[in-house]
Amino acid sequence: MTSLAGKTALVTGSTSGIGLGIAQALAEAGANIVLNGFGDIEAALAHIRTTGVRAWHNPADLSDPAQIDALCAFAAHETGGVDILVNNAGIQHVAPIETFPPAQWDKVLAINLSAVFHTSRLLLPLMRQRGWGRIINIASTHGLVASSGKSAYVAAKHGVLGLTKTVALETAHSPVTCNAICPGWVLTPLVAQQIADRAKAQGISPEQAQRDLLAEKQPSGQFVTPQQLGALAVFLCSPAADEVRGATWAMDGGWTAQ
């Protein structure tokens, strides 16, 4: 069992879905947690506090660099310091390139990629000072392969993998590591919306749309779970992963093996 007792983790976009699953797994390993994101914040905080760790929430909107500054200052100074940074928040917009709204391009890039740059640049000095650190970036299979209609998302997630490798090189001679996880389909609110949109567009039931989605992409025929991704994040924080640097961990039911 990895113990993260005494460590503090900031997990962006952690009020639901994958972020909440990762926050929960880190909390079960003993880390105090700074949550970020929107929605049912009290429920997310209560969920984390059942593990007995300390938990905070900061409402920063990651599309705004000034709010990211405030989030990192809060995490660094109000919680006793940050040891683990999980860049998880992400959004999607789906449209062909010819009709892709430029404002949506900017927003997807800001939240999915630029925010990762800002949190890393702001919190890395603190980790170096504290003598230990982990940066875990949640990319996607779309960081490895493309998908029609997802130009901004695909570009942002490919960018996250490039940024991960660069930060890993710049921290190679230090006890700070930086790695990326590429989930396949995970049944979160983000994906539930895509299934609903697909069912509506094709005039089929949501159950059929869900089966089609998995059959097309995920050879296992099953969703990856936030708990499985959380366990991988805990491993990346363990001593066994001290020399895992700049790596891309696909957990995608075989999607990118095809």
Catalytic positions, please? 153
Rule CB under 6 A: say whether 249 interacts with ligand NAD: no
Rule CB under 6 A: say whether 179 interacts with ligand NAD: no
Per CB under 6 A, the list member of 17, 133, 159, 253 interacting with ligand NAD is 17
Number of H helices and E strands in the chain, helices first, is 9, 7
Binding to ligand NAD (CB under 6 A) within 74-133 occurs at 88-91, 111
CB nearer ligand NAD, residue 143 or residue 246: 143
CB nearer ligand NAD, residue 32 or residue 63: 63
Integer CA distances (angstroms), 60 to 34, 37, 98, in order = 12, 7, 32
Per CB under 6 A, the list member of 24, 58, 63, 114 interacting with ligand NAD is 63
Identity of the amino acid at 237: C
The answer to whether the beta carbons of residues 150 and 142 sit under 8 Å apart is yes
Rule CB under 6 A: say whether 13 interacts with ligand NAD: yes
* Helix (H), strand (E) at residue 171: none
Per CB under 6 A, the list member of 159, 183, 230, 246 interacting with ligand NAD is 183
Integer CA distances (angstroms), 15 to 58, 169, 189, 237, in order = 10, 31, 11, 21
Binding to ligand NAD (CB under 6 A) within 200-239 occurs at none
The answer to whether the beta carbons of residues 83 and 132 sit under 8 Å apart is yes
Rule CB under 6 A: say whether 18 interacts with ligand NAD: yes
* Helix (H), strand (E) at residue 179: strand 176-183
User: Interface residues with ligand NAD (CB under 6 A)?
Assistant: 13-19, 36-39, 61-63, 88-91, 111, 138, 140, 183, 185-186, 188-191
